[in-house]
Structures are given as C-alpha cells and as structure tokens.
Amino acid sequence: MATDYMFIGVGAFVWFFGIAMVSWHVYRRRRFLSDAGISPPELKFLEQQYHRRMQTSALTITLGALISMCDYLPQFKSSPGFAATYVMSLLLLSMWLVLLALGDAVASRIHISQSLRKNRQTRQALQEAIDELRQKQADAVKTADERRMIAPRNG
C-alpha cells in the first residue's frame, strides 16, 4: 500500500519544487525591474537569466506531473515496453533539466567573471587617479616649503 503512492509523492514534491522556483523567479524579476540603478547590460543579462530559469522551472513542473502520472496510466502496468519508454523519457527529460541548469550556471559564472574584471579595472583606474592626486599634493606641499625657505623673513 505504501508503494502505491510513491510516484504521486515524488511527483508532487518535484511539482511543488517547480512551483516554488517559479514564484521565486517572479519575485526576483519584480525586484530587479523596480531597481532604477541597473545598467542596460546588467538588465539584459538578468532578463536572459530569468527566461532560462523560468524554462527550467516549467520543465521541473512538467517532470513532476509526469512522474505523478506513472501509477495512474493503465499502459504503464500492462505494457513493459510502454513503461520502459516512459521511464527513459523521464530520464532524458531529467538530463535535459540538468543541462539547462548547468548552462545557466556557466552563463552566470561568465557574467560574474566579466563584472569582477570590470570592477578591478575601474578600481585600478581610480587608484591610479588617487595616487596621481597624492603626488600632486605632495609636490605642491614641497614647493610651498621650498618657497618659505627661500623667502626672507621679516621679523
């Protein structure tokens, strides 16, 4: 009796996980759309990321529903060929889901690397500007000290 509900339990878990992911992605999208300080390239990346993740979430929901249906399809119990094909299709769908997730992870990693590189370049340029200003300030102080030493004191 416990195994009768195994497919529906696992499928429901996967399905609810997919629903939770969709809710989370919609919430995050609303947050970044309301942020006025996002640059156009960053906004473009976030939109692409949203679409990738929504596709993955929708596929997760579909996978959960298909897993739940296993025990309720009459062909699943009566035809071993159908059952094998159905299970292989679920495995292929699962592998595709993993590939989509890996693709999103790689795209995110590349984006973060590019952002860090830009931040390092900006930081380096700012540090060089600060060093240049400090040098000019030191030269100005040195010149002022030299003028005071050369100028005669009235006293």
pTM (2 d.p.): 0.75
- 102 three-class SS: helix
Give 18-69 pLDDT, tens digit per residue.
Answer: 999 999 999 999 998 888 788 888 889 999 999 999 999 999 999 999 999 8
User: How many residues would you count in the chain?
Assistant: 155
Give the CA angle between residues 68, 74, 78 to the nearest 5°: 120
35 vs 118, which has greater pLDDT?
118
CA–CA gap between residue 27 and residue 32 (Å, rounded): 9
Tokens linked to 24: 């989370």
Identify which of 39, 33, 34 has the alpha carbon closest to the alpha carbon of residue 118: 39
